[in-house]
A and B are shown apart, each in its own frame.
Chain A
Amino acid sequence: MKRKFEHPAPSAREQTGPKYWRSLDDLAATPGFKAQLAREFPEGAAQLDGVDRRHFMKIMAASFALGGVGLAGCRRPEANILPFGKSVEGIIPGLPQYYATAMPLRKSAIPLLAETHQGRPTKVEGNPSYAPHGGASSLLAQASVLDLYDPDRATAHTKGGAVLNAAAVNDLLAGISQRFAATGGTGLAFLAEESASPTRARVVKLLRRKFPKAVWAEYEPVTDEPPLAAAQACFGVNVKPLYRFAKAKRILSLDANFLSADSGSLYYAREFAKGRRVTKKDDPMNRLYVVESGLTLTGSMADHRLRLASSHLLAFTAALGGKLLSTEVLKPLTEGLDVNQKWVDECAADLAAHRGECLVVAGNHLPAAVHGIVYAINAFLGNVGQTVDFVGVEPSSAASISDLATALKGGAVKTLVILGGNPAYNAPADLDWAALQKSVAEVIRLGYFADETSILAGTHLSAAHYLESWGDARTADGTIVPVQPMIMPLFGGLTEIEVLARLAGEPTADPYALVFTTITAIAGGEPEKAMRRFLHDGVLAGSAYATNAVAFDQRGARALLREIPKLAALSLKNLEVRFIADHKMDDGRFANNGWLQECPDPITKISWDNAIMVSPKLGKELGIDPKGALLQVARKEENEFSIGKENARVFELAVGGRKIRGPVHIQPGLSNYTVVVPLGYGRTATGHVGKGAGFSAYPLRTSAAMHVATGATLTDTGTRLLLANVQEHWSMEGRDLVREANLDEFKENPAYVSGIGMESHTPSTIGEVGKKMTLAQRSAQIPRGGSLYDNPSLDGHHQWGMSIDLNTCIGCNACVVACQAENNIPIVGKEQVMRGREMHWIRLDRYYSSGTADAGAFGGEGNRELPEDPQVSLQPIACMQCELAPCEIVCPVNATVHDEEGINVMAYNRCIGTRYCANNCPYKVRRFNFFDYNERSLDSLYLGQLGPSGMPELVKMVKNPEVSVRMRGVMEKCTYCIQRIQNGKIQHKVKVAQAGSPGDVVVPDGTIKTACQQVCPVEAIVFGNILDEKSAVSQAKARAHDYSLLGYLNIRPRTTYLGKLRNPNPQMPDYAALPLSRAEYNQKNHPAGHGEHGGARAHEPAPAHGGEPAKKEGHK
């Protein structure tokens, strides 16, 4: 029987009203945006410019002629096989090897397993031996491999421009050591980065014993650990907090971006997800309150979010502390605080109701007083020892960069050794570091790049990458981890400990020997064995910082509260500037990393640039105002926004006479008068990639106001800058993409997702027969439903599938870069991103919803206000491997087909580049190589055959040999890491064949992991065989809140999503009975208030909803 669809007739509202909006232009539905939606590829994406047609024909004719003369293609060129002369133990050509190592960053490290192919590291994964991370790693760790093969890295030691060989460097260092030995180091100064390396600490101790009068200073421009002074004052001991988020049922973050900007973020994110994950209706779920000035990833996960200036957070903390601790002492601090008192009271009440299982976390940049009050609150609530442990740490005995600057000014320093860092770029502006450094007679710089600091230094020593170095480090919880080299230093780089040991005049400066001595002394036992174990495991068991049973000392804490400046009201004339470490560039050290530059910021979605972020309210006051009938953001003219190009206005930001210029980006969710400026861009001396990207905010930053500055003003310069903003790309026209519910609704109706979307109106696409089948049967037999066409069945031993939990995804973007590293995905450059040609196989869509976006008002009269406080929903999107894939039926050459195991595969060598498949893909996940991005340099793409061709040898080394490097004119997309699947299956079959049970060909669950799954710190991505009912992915898909994106299209995606949940507190003043996106969904789809079709015409009878809160609109 022919199936009858009962689509409700679209209302005028439906046709005009997106439910979710990904950018302000999306919400505004400007004509430009609509025109873009209607196109297959963004404008310009499908055009060749820079070369006109005539010129093109000329070039092509010439190359055809050359091809004809040469006839070089008839025989393949002779190739050689080059085996080793002498066998190398353990190396099997064709099989990767894995070694434990770690990526140190400031006082923490990420334990890693590095994958090497014939001695060439190509990819890193988290080390599963380190339990707190569970095998996860971070965005920065994933991208760090690319730095190793950066053609722009410093390749030689130089002195005054002349190259120094290794022996000359050793002589130079020995000379300094001897010269200062007599005077005990008078006139010698060091500036280093922070580090928790036990070996470095030991060598530094030796060095300072030899040169007691030398200055040893450390400097880090950004801070990812709380100030030690606060803990010292409150507890009388040197401790730092380690949070146990998994145990916390109520969490309050005070400007703390603990999910991505803390030294322990990986561990915290993982633990947070444990408390957040809901698998069945009785599962508990934590509740997150966030008070913050910017919009961070942590804020995007909040159940209740309060926008408050960072400089007012002390007052807020005091108000909360006063309420919780029932004390009047903190009252004076709260003067001038302008927040809804009910928010504070109810939040405090909720925390108080969860003694011992709640947690208050303060941002690392906040003053010690805030931390002091927070420690008091946590102690009072009985959280110490439950949700927060305090571990003993070694206080730093290093001088600060300001102390060093004073010494330099006095002219007492004759030789300055700068180890790492980049003070000429990122030192506080009031120190005028460049001039100070130039005033020193001899400056020796150990640096990875010949950067701003090296240019001003007489001698530059090139540093080794951590994948070329012997060393050690400590994770955030203090576990000692090895830094093990994967490859000999490519350019003879030196490690920091080697340089220090030489300066200290140690008899041995071999970094391995130095590490060996340190580790074996700590580990005890038989040295060789202990070291071997340490390197094998990648962690030193039992070496974590010891937990300290701390007692809160009120008197000490009160000392922190002295001399608190009065709270100043913020306004247009007195703005607050918040400096944040960029999510990708960190403090600027990753500026030349193309993977990170191209990865869009998780919230702003801007790539290749930073921006001065202002709130919509401030934007309006600055005159960036919607004009006419349409909302315009950061621009006045209609249609000025086109396709990934954000035509931002350049403003001058001034604080205390210091000025910087940068493009302004209007960012919903910011505190009204807080201006957020990411650091790390605007490098003047770096490689090709980092040069010219963004602006530097360091010139605004003084040692008095490193994190938050007030008294800033913004003035329009009248100029514009185009930003590459991917948020307009690949839009899905606002369907019911992210399905959300509050926890209360979920408890009543775990299958709430089936009441949302087109599927709730249409008959089941799999028919009555299909509904009776199990998931495994459905995946293999592909029920035809009401279709005339009988779908071919899939007969593989496995049927692969994926489940993504939107409830735990924090949007950190680690999957984006992990995929890029695994699958040889090229970068395309800012110019190409602005045309919508980025190549990422997985992307994170970020949707805003305000709950007030009235569909009828879109583009019309009515809603002219830019929402200031939206909820954020994040959704990772990659190829869904549809069982009935629409891309396959349009491919004229069968380049994309289905395999036996349900994967929609791409045969690159067959693809002729018609792009029909991308046109027919409803998810917009296919990517096209418009140029030969791998072979051609990004600044000469338009020169075509006339431009230089060929990949630098160094860059070739980072490519994964298991994956084809695609060329121009080829479509590509996610394949569930087909290389990992094939190799996993082969290795399993070989194993069982050799073990004598060759018939057990089904790979055990969890053996094969996709790159995105492996990196995910919150375990949001689960991948596996859905024929196996016990597999993790089958169990995830069997949950009630599992849904298919655009499921009504009957394309049956193999990737499905678990709905997002929010857990708001009904007592809070900002409580919303429905997630704001649902409110918008209902406003658009059910304006008359007849409710969602949870059970009406849908196939899944939804349980009755009783006791729904009264505030909801148009719901059931």
Chain B
Amino acid sequence: MSKIFPPSANKLPLQIIIYLGVLVGLATAGVTYYMTPKYTRVGYAPVQPVPFSHAKHVGEVGLDCRYCHSNVDQSAHSNVPTSQTCMNCHNQIKLTSPLLAPVRESYETGKSVPWVWIHQTPDYAFFNHAIHVNRGVSCVECHGKVNEMDTVTHLQPLSMAFCIECHRDPAARLRDPKDVFNLNSQTLAAQGKAEQAAKFVHDWKVKPPQSCSGCHR
């Protein structure tokens, strides 16, 4: 009886095992990278109905974050301004700009401008803006230097790992409460004031929750 398989077939099982191993490894690496928030979220910069530039309004004009996001220090949500807020200035300047047409229309009809939601946490994660900005966590930590962005871009993964990292070591991320809305400021730690940061944590009794109940209800 002649041989069905050539001698080279003896290596086949080993080849298959190695091949499968590499494949599984690649797949795992691919999934862990491409399907995590680091990949799926970071860099998200959708086109907005009005090409609002934070760089112009904050960086150049010098508006405070809270002029538009007026309830950020009171509420869980950082509110997106109403069209009326936009019209506070734009009934004086750029009256006829076609780019502002949706805002003017919204102001007249009362219908909302459909801004695209960028920094969106899952429904089961209950993030609260007020507690962070009132206790030394700056906007920059999660949103990046919005004052330099023409188009707002998702900079941080905002995943649970991202949150927990800071909750485990708040001293590294705290700013002087005066600097929270100053997007060009540095954290106390970055300024080399580690001692001051530790004192902040101690005096303010900063103890970010690390258990589920902090964010999930």
> B-contacting residues of A (Cβ < 8 Å)?
74-76, 78-87, 92-95, 795-797, 897-901, 903, 905-910, 962-964, 975, 978-979, 981-983, 986, 989-990, 993-994, 998-999, 1001
Point out the residue from B71, B80, B81, B107 that lies within 8 Å of A92, measured CB to CB: B71
Supply 13 A–B pairs (Cβ within 8 Å), ascending by A.
A81-B80, A84-B112, A86-B107, A92-B75, A95-B74, A95-B76, A897-B211, A905-B216, A907-B212, A962-B126, A964-B124, A982-B217, A990-B74
* A-side contacts of B214, CB under 8 Å: 899, 982
Q: How far is the CA of A998 from the CA of B123 in the complex (A)?
A: 30
* A-side contacts of B80, CB under 8 Å: 81, 83
* B-side contacts of A82, CB under 8 Å: 112-115
Q: Is B131 an interface residue (CB 8 A)?
A: yes
Q: How many residues of B contact A (CB 8 A)?
A: 51
Q: How far is the CA of A910 from the CA of B135 in the complex (A)?
A: 29
Interface of B is mostly: loop
Extra inter-chain contacts (10) besides given A963-B217, A999-B203, CB under 8 Å: A79-B120, A81-B117, A84-B83, A84-B84, A85-B82, A85-B83, A85-B107, A907-B216, A909-B124, A982-B128
- Asked whether B216 lies within 8 Å of A908 as measured between CB atoms, the reply is yes
- Asked whether B75 lies within 8 Å of A80 as measured between CB atoms, the reply is no
Point out the residue from B73, B108, B113 that lies within 8 Å of A83, measured CB to CB: B113
- Asked whether B217 lies within 8 Å of A989 as measured between CB atoms, the reply is no
Q: How far is the CA of A975 from the CA of B212 in the complex (A)?
A: 12
- Asked whether A993 lies within 8 Å of B134 as measured between CB atoms, the reply is yes
0/1 interface trace, chain B 176-215, chain A, CB 8 Å (1 if under):
0100000000000000000000000001110101111110
Q: How far is the CA of A235 from the CA of B114 in the complex (A)?
A: 69
Instruction: Across the interface, name the chain A residue whose C-beta is closest to B124.
Output: A909
* B-side contacts of A86, CB under 8 Å: 82-84, 107, 110
Residue from B40, B85, B212 having most chain A Cβ neighbours under 10 A: B212
Q: How far is the CA of A907 from the CA of B212 in the complex (A)?
A: 6
Q: Is B26 an interface residue (CB 8 A)?
A: no
Point out the residue from B106, B107, B120, B211 that lies within 8 Å of A899, measured CB to CB: B211
- Asked whether A986 lies within 8 Å of B112 as measured between CB atoms, the reply is no
Q: Is B116 an interface residue (CB 8 A)?
A: yes
Point out the residue from A92, A962, A998 that lies within 8 Å of B217, measured CB to CB: A962
B184 smallest CB distance to A (angstroms) = 23
A964-B123 contact given A998-B204, A999-B204, CB 8 Å threshold: yes
- Asked whether A986 lies within 8 Å of B203 as measured between CB atoms, the reply is no
Instruction: Across the interface, name the chain B residue whose C-beta is closest to A75.
Output: B40
* A-side contacts of B116, CB under 8 Å: 78-81
A986-B211 contact given A964-B124, A979-B217, A999-B205, CB 8 Å threshold: no
Q: Is B79 an interface residue (CB 8 A)?
A: yes
A96 smallest CB distance to B (angstroms) = 10
B174 smallest CB distance to A (angstroms) = 12
Point out the residue from B81, B114, B131, B210 that lies within 8 Å of A986, measured CB to CB: B131
A898 smallest CB distance to B (angstroms) = 7
- Asked whether B217 lies within 8 Å of A85 as measured between CB atoms, the reply is no
* B-side contacts of A74, CB under 8 Å: 35, 40
Q: Is B62 an interface residue (CB 8 A)?
A: no
A978-B112 contact given A74-B40, A94-B75, CB 8 Å threshold: no
- Asked whether B115 lies within 8 Å of A80 as measured between CB atoms, the reply is yes
0/1 interface trace, chain B 93-130, chain A, CB 8 Å (1 if under):
00000000000001111111111110010111010101
* A-side contacts of B217, CB under 8 Å: 962-964, 975, 978-979, 982
Q: How far is the CA of A79 from the CA of B121 in the complex (A)?
A: 11
B189 smallest CB distance to A (angstroms) = 19
* B-side contacts of A998, CB under 8 Å: 135, 203-205
- Asked whether A797 lies within 8 Å of B211 as measured between CB atoms, the reply is no
- Asked whether B212 lies within 8 Å of A93 as measured between CB atoms, the reply is no
Of residues 36 to 89 in B, which have CB atoms within 8 Å of A's CB atoms?
40, 46, 71, 73-77, 79-85
Interface of A is mostly: loop
Q: How far is the CA of A311 from the CA of B76 in the complex (A)?
A: 60
Q: How far is the CA of A79 from the CA of B117 in the complex (A)?
A: 5
* B-side contacts of A76, CB under 8 Å: 40, 120
Closest A-B pairs by Cβ, 7 of them = A899-B211, A94-B77, A82-B112, A94-B75, A85-B110, A907-B212, A905-B213
* B-side contacts of A87, CB under 8 Å: 82, 84-85
Instruction: Across the interface, name the chain B residue whose C-beta is closest to A989.
Output: B131
* B-side contacts of A75, CB under 8 Å: 40
* A-side contacts of B130, CB under 8 Å: 986, 990
* A-side contacts of B203, CB under 8 Å: 998-999
* B-side contacts of A964, CB under 8 Å: 123-124, 216-217
A386 smallest CB distance to B (angstroms) = 49
B111 smallest CB distance to A (angstroms) = 6
Residue from A86, A796, A898 having most chain B Cβ neighbours under 10 A: A86
Residue from B106, B204, B210, B217 having most chain A Cβ neighbours under 10 A: B217
Q: How far is the CA of A82 from the CA of B112 in the complex (A)?
A: 5
A122 smallest CB distance to B (angstroms) = 15
Q: How far is the CA of A646 from the CA of B77 in the complex (A)?
A: 49
A934 smallest CB distance to B (angstroms) = 13
* A-side contacts of B71, CB under 8 Å: 92-95
* B-side contacts of A978, CB under 8 Å: 213, 217
Instruction: Across the interface, name the chain A residue whose C-beta is closest to B76.
Output: A94
* A-side contacts of B76, CB under 8 Å: 94-95, 983, 986
- Asked whether A80 lies within 8 Å of B117 as measured between CB atoms, the reply is yes
Residue from A84, A797, A908 having most chain B Cβ neighbours under 10 A: A84
Point out the residue from B73, B114, B124 that lies within 8 Å of A80, measured CB to CB: B114
* B-side contacts of A982, CB under 8 Å: 126, 128, 213-214, 217
Instruction: Across the interface, name the chain A residue whose C-beta is closest to B204.
Output: A998
Q: How far is the CA of A86 from the CA of B207 in the complex (A)?
A: 39
Q: How far is the CA of A868 from the CA of B78 in the complex (A)?
A: 63
- Asked whether A899 lies within 8 Å of B131 as measured between CB atoms, the reply is no
Residue from B84, B122, B131 having most chain A Cβ neighbours under 10 A: B131
* A-side contacts of B111, CB under 8 Å: 85
A68 smallest CB distance to B (angstroms) = 15
B7 smallest CB distance to A (angstroms) = 40
Point out the residue from B115, B122, B210 that lies within 8 Å of A900, measured CB to CB: B210
A406 smallest CB distance to B (angstroms) = 55
Q: How far is the CA of A898 from the CA of B115 in the complex (A)?
A: 39
Q: How far is the CA of A994 from the CA of B180 in the complex (A)?
A: 13
* B-side contacts of A94, CB under 8 Å: 71, 75-77, 79
Q: How far is the CA of A909 from the CA of B71 in the complex (A)?
A: 29
B46 smallest CB distance to A (angstroms) = 7
- Asked whether B74 lies within 8 Å of A92 as measured between CB atoms, the reply is yes
Point out the residue from B106, B112, B124 that lies within 8 Å of A908, measured CB to CB: B124
Q: How far is the CA of A448 from the CA of B157 in the complex (A)?
A: 49
Q: How far is the CA of A86 from the CA of B203 in the complex (A)?
A: 41
- Asked whether B110 lies within 8 Å of A84 as measured between CB atoms, the reply is yes
Q: How far is the CA of A998 from the CA of B109 in the complex (A)?
A: 43
Q: How far is the CA of A982 from the CA of B211 in the complex (A)?
A: 12
A793 smallest CB distance to B (angstroms) = 14
Q: How far is the CA of A81 from the CA of B40 in the complex (A)?
A: 20
A898-B211 contact given A84-B112, A94-B76, A990-B131, CB 8 Å threshold: yes
B137 smallest CB distance to A (angstroms) = 12
Instruction: Across the interface, name the chain B residue whose C-beta is closest to A1002.
Output: B205
A974 smallest CB distance to B (angstroms) = 12
- Asked whether A899 lies within 8 Å of B40 as measured between CB atoms, the reply is no
* A-side contacts of B115, CB under 8 Å: 80-83
* B-side contacts of A999, CB under 8 Å: 203-205
Q: How far is the CA of A319 from the CA of B107 in the complex (A)?
A: 77
* A-side contacts of B123, CB under 8 Å: 964
Residue from B79, B82, B130, B213 having most chain A Cβ neighbours under 10 A: B213
A990-B134 contact given A76-B40, A95-B75, A964-B216, CB 8 Å threshold: yes
Of residues 3 to 54 in B, which have CB atoms within 8 Å of A's CB atoms?
35, 40, 46
- Asked whether A989 lies within 8 Å of B135 as measured between CB atoms, the reply is yes
Q: How far is the CA of A707 from the CA of B113 in the complex (A)?
A: 60
Q: How far is the CA of A855 from the CA of B71 in the complex (A)?
A: 65
Q: How far is the CA of A78 from the CA of B211 in the complex (A)?
A: 30
A811 smallest CB distance to B (angstroms) = 29
